[in-house]
Structure formats: C-alpha cells, structure tokens
Amino acid sequence: MTQEDYRKVLKKVWAQKISVEDALRMLAMEPFEEIPCARVDHHRAIRCGFPEVIFCQAKRPSDITQIASTILKRSQFLLATRADRAAFEAVCEANPRAEYHELARCVTVNKKKVPRHEGRVLIICAGTADIPVAEEARVTAEMFGLETSMVYDAGVAGIHRLLSQTDKIAQADCIVAVAGMEGALPSVVGGLADCPVIAVPTSVGYGASFGGLAPLLTMLNSCAAGVSVVNIDNGFGAGYLAGLITRKKKPAD
C-alpha cells in the first residue's frame, strides 16, 4: 500500500464508511515479507514515497521473478535497475506488463497510470557515452510521475551547445548533470541554474579518469553552490533524489 492508499482508508474511517476493525484488517500487514531469497520491504512506499526497487545485477533470474512477484502483490508499480534481457524476461514472468528500457538498463511495470506531479526535471549529459546513465535517471524520475526533458551531448568541450539550452535550464525545478572525463559539466550548470543540481560522475574516460574517480572528485570540489553529488554511474540515485526534491517542492493536487 502507498501513502495515498493509507489516506483513503483513514478518510473512510473518519467518514464512517468503514469500521475501525475493518481498517485494522486492511492495514495489518507485516512491514516486510520473507521469501527464500529476500525480505521484501512492503512499507518502503509509506516511509519513503516509492516502493522498493530491484537492483538486478548479480541476481539470479529466478530470484528476480520471486522478488518482483512479491512487490507487485501490494504495489501498482515496479522499477528494476541494471537489468539485462534475462532480468527483463524474469520480470515478465512476474507480470506481462513489464517494459524494457534497453538504453537505461531498466525494467518498469505500471499496473495503472503513474500519478502525475508538478515539477520539471532537466537531465543533461556531457557526451553520447554518458547517455545510459542519464537515461537511468530519466526512467527513475518518470516513475515518480515527473515531467522530464533531456539534453544530450552538451559537454564543456563545446560549451556553446550547453549555453544554447539556457531557457530549459531556467525553467527546470531540478537538474541532473551527468559527465565523465574531468566532470566539469555540473559546475558550469550550477553557475547557470537557480534550482538544485545533482551531479552524476560516470566511468567514461581515459586512464587518468580512474573509472570515474576523477570526475567524482571534480564534482565534490565544485565551486558552484547548490550542486550535490551521487556515486559513480548512479543514474538511479540521481533520478530518485530529483524525484524527492521536485515532488516535495511541487506536490500533486
């Protein structure tokens, strides 16, 4: 059950449409459910506003199917990250509505339309090689019900490409800036934006980028105020954080 489901139950009690005992039966579910391979957190959506997400990497397909089936017993939505084709097929075993976002390496299931929230998340990536991480952020933010827009290939090596997008930057409620190499993009974006900027270092780059460590340190040392940083290649974490920031700023009606 989601926070909204709980509100509906409590409103029915208040309106005397159901009894307190009936409400208790509806709400009396364990906060997690034990299955052979995991303990699924059913109350994640109540505490955090979004259901538990499956990280597919290194999981057996049979385990992914079990976890997805358990989550979808009580949730209308599912997001699985770092998913290959085998993981997608495993989620399909749990629910045939599963959709594979190949570039983002994500699988989503929407048993009903995702409720829309006000707020715009702009996702900017420095180079074409950074697109998969940016797409992971996009899919995650859209599962929060947020409007997203993308700007690809706007790295500082050709900074005029970024400066041509100042209207989009000005209209955004939150920006995710994704970059590898030296990772300068978020600092430049932070100097142009009046909203939070979430920096995502990627593992793209030549040897001295140390698999994303160099852009991570650049972003952590940004002189632009309002820039926060997630871990290397963590598009999911950036999209999730953007969803929390934007949804809190502009809650749904």
Residues 124 and 227 in one domain: yes
Quote the pLDDT of residue 25: 67
Quote the pLDDT of residue 65: 96
Among 110, 132, 161, residue at a domain's last position: 110
Residues 96 and 169 in one domain: no
Quote the pLDDT of residue 250: 52
H-type helices in the chain, by residue range?
3-14, 20-27, 44-48, 61-74, 85-94, 131-143, 159-163, 166-171, 185-190, 213-220, 235-249
Note the pLDDT tens digit of each residue in 151-207: 999 989 899 999 999 999 999 999 999 999 999 999 999 999 999 999 999 999 899
Quote the pLDDT of residue 76: 87
Quote the pLDDT of residue 26: 65
In a domain? residue 88: yes
The model carries a pTM of 0.84
Domain CATH for 190:
3.40.50.1970
Residues 199 and 230 in one domain: yes
Quote the pLDDT of residue 240: 95
Among 110, 140, 167, residue at a domain's last position: 110
In the block, tokens 């699924």 appear at 40
Among 46, 77, 110, residue at a domain's last position: 110
In a domain? residue 115: no
Residues 71 and 143 in one domain: no
Quote the pLDDT of residue 48: 80
Counting as low any pLDDT under 70, the low residues of the chain are 1-3, 25-30, 248-253
Residues 191 and 157 in one domain: yes
151's tokens? 């700007």
Q: What share of the chain has pLDDT > 90, as a percent?
A: 65
Residues 55 and 138 in one domain: no
Residues 130 and 236 in one domain: yes
Quote the pLDDT of residue 218: 95
Backbone angles phi, psi at 209, to 5 degrees: -80, -10
Q: What is the DSSP string of 119-139?
A: -EEEEEESSGGGHHHHHHHHH
Residues 91 and 49 in one domain: yes
Query: What distance in Å separates the CA atoms of residue 235 and residue 176, rounded to the nearest whole number?
Result: 9
Quote the pLDDT of residue 243: 92
Instruction: Give the residue among 137, 136, 139, 134 at the shortest CA–CA distance from 151.
Output: 134
Q: What DSSP character marks residue 75? A: -
Residues 104 and 183 in one domain: no
Question: What is the number of domains present in the chain?
Answer: 2
In a domain? residue 201: yes
Quote the pLDDT of residue 20: 83
Residues 147 and 180 in one domain: yes
Instruction: Give the residue among 202, 220, 205 at the shortest CA–CA distance from 133.
Output: 202
In a domain? residue 1: no
Boundaries of domain holding 237: 120-249
